[in-house]
Structure 1
Amino acid sequence: MDTVDPVVLARIQFAANMTFHILFPTISISMGWVLLFFKKRFTATGQQHWMEAYQFWVKIFALTFALGVVSGITMSFQFGTNWPGFMNTVGNVAGPLLAYEVLTAFFLEATMLGIMLFGRGRVSERVHTWATFLVAAGTTMSAFWILALNSWMHTPAGFEMVNGQAHVTSWMQVIFNPSFPYRLTHMLIASGLTVAFLLAGISAYRWLKGDHGLEVKAGLRTGIYLAAALIPVQIVVGDMHGVNTLHHQPAKIAAMEGIWQTQKGAPAVLFALPDASTQSNRFEVAIPKLASLYLTHDWEGEVKGIDAFGTQHPPVAPVFFAFRIMVGVGMLMLAVSWLSAWRMRRGRDLATWQARVLVAMTFAGWVALLAGWYVTEIGRQPWLVQGVLTTAQAASQVPASNIALTLTMYLSLYAVLLTAYVSVVFHLAKKTSTANTLPGAQHA
């Protein structure tokens, strides 16, 4: 095992931890705002089904929040175990940003969460609503600080290097670095879409189980309409983010697009098998000049290829395919949400096949999110902090055999936890629906 590159194993281990962790904050960020929406609808209308929707989904929020916290702690330890050079070099930037996240966001969430989960009936409705708002605000603030750090790693600004260490010259430039607005907006919308399809999928599952109550219909409508509204916005934001990436990280764009040679009028490669040995695409299917149009907004715009970066470029194949998975799932989300919204706007229930499609896409947001995250993080290689610190420079000296052992343990544990999470979510849906469809059950 020691013949395997320990840096590669360390990257795989951190990716496994990050993959597992990011699933849960992605849900909790937007689920908090959906719960606030349910609560506000209840207080405004007095209709009980809104509170029933709140009470069902707050259980899933609590489960999600707990797993997010636990996996986040494990991930933070790996800054020291896997990447000690990261904090040694840029700890003056990363440390305070992580501390701000804990002090301003996590403490707020943790404090208000108890009132949100257990306070109704013990505090006034107004206080309970405020607690829900503060939890939602805390989750978003947490995303703000984490994305500020991650964006700075891609487009560092507001610092100077002194004796091999980064020192902040402007916190405003550090936080609001060139890619931060695009990255934060893109992530928040991705969170909204993940929650939208979770709402729609679980509600459709309950509907197929015979639970046609107002609570289920409220969750279904909320999920479908939210997805239908957000996906076009995400497409526009994604385009803006791509143009920003072209300016600051052109090697990532070259890998995403499968462009090996710098050229004007670059084609949009729909499908290919990138071949690093020959620096070419096999079985390429492409639309001439289209990539130049959407990247530079000029049919003849120049797009740098992999050849322009020597050895300082990411592996092409994983970035290329991950990008297409993200876009493909996004287009499927657009079609499914708009078709479902169109049918519901006409006052008709979903067809059985549509409900089944929504159930199948319950966690589609996770697939698109992870694909996009892999594009972002693998596309940054070989840099850990763009232009400042490479991944190899930051890696620890832990033997490959030790990393492989802990990686196996992590993967095994995460597989069990993820299976348990999905099973519990569907179990809660089935249990609630069974209770609501029993003879004599009261429907709102």
Structure 2
Amino acid sequence: MKQVLVSFVICCCLNFTIQAQETVVIGTVLNADQQPIEDASVQLGQFFSSTDRRGQFKIIANYLPVQLLINHPFYELYEQIVLQQTGKDTIFLAITLITESTDLEEVTVNADKIVWAYPEKSIHIIDFDLRDYGMLLLCSAEKQCFLRLVDDNNKTLFDQPVRKNPLSFFHDCLDGIHLLYQDSVVELMVLYDTLFLLPPASIGEFKQSLEPCALSKDKYVVFKQLGPHNKALDYTLVNRINQENRLLYQAADTKQIKSLDAYAAENDIPAIAMLKANTSQQLSDDRKKWQNARHYEQNLIKPLYIPIVTVNDTTIIFDHFKDSMTVFSADFSINRRSAISYHYFDFWQNKLLVNEEHTRVFAKYEDRGLVKLREIDPHTGSVIGVVQLDKHVYPASIQIKGRFVYYLFHRYVDDSINYVYKQRID
């Protein structure tokens, strides 16, 4: 019983990181003419309500931040993250809904905005990489694996056979591209119409030399190191010219680290010796510890998601643990900080996507296979647009270039085929 109770308490502590406090949220919902909207459905987290004839609603929330959704058949869906306001137990909101568009021309355009990006029915696409002048495809056909480079018109520039069972592409921080296998990594040198495969490296060499590198810009390289239970993170800045280094950024979830320390000690992690048990009770206890150890490895030590990216030649760290974004100057001194809250929307996937031009940032959300991308303003951290991937469920390897989002779709009718599609986003 003690074992089960400890595990339950720790799991609750690990999953409850938002502020638990009752707050009254009072809102007034109006249209563009500032007239009240009656009978709009309101959802605040797990609580539901509707607006009265004055366009008002009132909900008591037991935790913040939380997602607010307002829906009405004549208006576009409204969504917002309601944040806790220091020292206040009542929050007042003024909300304006936008009339739902019924333009027939717009509907017709949207119906044609999803197209087959590489129309070859017999080619299974394992992965793809967008280039300045086309796509590099990792393909399988007739029991052979190969790389195919195509231009913007899908004309094949070259085919290069590769060893069987490749997993995917990998981009390093120096903008190199690699072919990943279960046991090795092969670096690719891609010119316009030529491809060179460098000698393979082991997975151990890959994890030691390539994986820690998070970003390269001008004369600087940024390396990432995870701390205890993957709940602490350090970014170290290295000057490639003089080899000087300094700590650029640091974050740690100390509460989770302490909880996981206790959890690991209680369950003898990492050493589990089930075969050494002498009695059935010992075997039962060891089995519980073994199950808790698997839970620890698969669920509890997921790393803090604090990516560092370059947008419009500016380096930004998005800290989803501290609810902030930090913008750096050219010399990597801190320029400014802003609050972020987009990661509190439901179905957030702990994933940011930067387009190929490095000018736009999108956050990924997925509900039962349906993916939504919210565009994030790199200057303020606020949401400035929403893209719904309309046609396919569980799209993979999502990439964005120009006015399109590209992705892999797995055809369930034929388990051996993936195709590349693209959808217009502007």
Tell me which interval the TM-score lies in, with the shorter structure as reference length: under 0.3
Structure ID, larger Rg: 2
Flag the structure with higher strand content: 2
Flag the structure with higher helix content: 1
TM-score (norm 2): 0.27
Higher relative contact order (CA 8 A, sep 6+): 1
TM-score (norm 1): 0.26
